């Protein structure tokens, strides 16, 4: 009996090793450009414990970012563009186009607050998801209250927000 179990275990180990080795042969590591390397260095899931709430009010918005962190600045820019789409830097190449859309049916928030919860890398990609705890004074598609997730992609040594969605709580 022990001999049969040992032989089966060796066969399983052999097939697993061959599968891993074959995957390495089939999927060689791709060279990474400078942006992807810097993303790869930061792509471990990051949880934020600080309760630093960032509060923005329409009319008091500055175009400059309040931080040196490019990921934070991409989220901040999207928040600012949500309130005032005509603000300098609000461009559909760095924020989702619906953020800049002009609809009379949907009231834009005039106050938005958020804090970063975590940054999570997207598997097999240089993109990341930034989870925030957010609040605002309007409904705005349901995309500024609760857990709001910003999808980011590297763009010209910076980050662009490609999508926004809210998690149901």
Residue 12 sits in which domain range?
A: 1-30
Instruction: State whether 24 and 73 are in the same domain.
Output: no
Angle CA 45–49–51, to nearest 5 = 130
Instruction: State whether 54 and 7 are in the same domain.
Output: no
Identify the pLDDT of residue 28. 46
Q: Give Dmax over CA atoms of the chain in angstroms.
A: 78
Q: 3-state class of 4 per DSSP?
A: helix
- Is pLDDT of 14 > 60? no
Instruction: State whether 88 and 156 are in the same domain.
Output: yes
Instruction: State whether 67 and 17 are in the same domain.
Output: no
Residue 141 pLDDT grade (very low, low, confident, very high; cuts 50, 70, 90): confident
Instruction: State whether 77 and 3 are in the same domain.
Output: no
Count of C-beta atoms within a 10 Å radius of residue 25: 7
Identify the pLDDT of residue 119. 93
Instruction: State whether 53 and 3 are in the same domain.
Output: no
Instruction: State whether 64 and 118 are in the same domain.
Output: yes
Instruction: State whether 2 and 79 are in the same domain.
Output: no
Mean pLDDT of the chain: 80
Q: What is the pLDDT of residues 155-166, one digit of tens each?
A: 999 999 999 999
Domain of residue 149, CATH code: 3.10.450
* Total of domains in the chain: 2
Instruction: State whether 6 and 58 are in the same domain.
Output: no
- Is pLDDT of 46 > 50? yes
Residue 38 buriedness (CB in 10 A; 0-12 / 13-18 / 19+): middle
The secondary structure of residue 64, as a DSSP letter, is S
Q: Name the region of 89 (left: φ>0; alpha: ψ -120 to 50; beta: rest).
A: left
Instruction: State whether 46 and 109 are in the same domain.
Output: yes
Where would I find the H helices in the chain? 2-26, 34-42, 70-83, 97-100
């Amino acid at each position: 009996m022990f001999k049969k179990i040992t032989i089966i275990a060796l066969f399983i180990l052999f097939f697993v090793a061959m599968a891993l080795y074959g995957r390495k042969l089939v999927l060689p590591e791709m060279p990474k450009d400078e942006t992807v390397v810097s993303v790869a260095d930061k792509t471990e899931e990051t949880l934020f414990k600080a309760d630093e709430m960032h509060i923005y009010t329409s009319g008091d918005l500055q175009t400059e970012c309040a931080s040196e962190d490019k990921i934070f600045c991409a989220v901040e820019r999207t928040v600012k563009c949500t309130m005032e789409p005509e603000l300098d830097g609000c461009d559909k190449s760095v924020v989702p186009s619906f953020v800049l859309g002009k609809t009379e049916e949907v009231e834009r928030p005039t106050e938005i607050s958020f804090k970063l919860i975590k940054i999570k890398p997207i598997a097999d990609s240089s993109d990341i998801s930034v989870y925030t705890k957010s609040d605002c004074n309007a409904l705005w598609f349901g995309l500024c209250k609760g857990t709001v997730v910003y999808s980011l992609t590297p763009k010209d040594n910076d980050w662009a927000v490609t999508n926004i969605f809210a998690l149901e709580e």
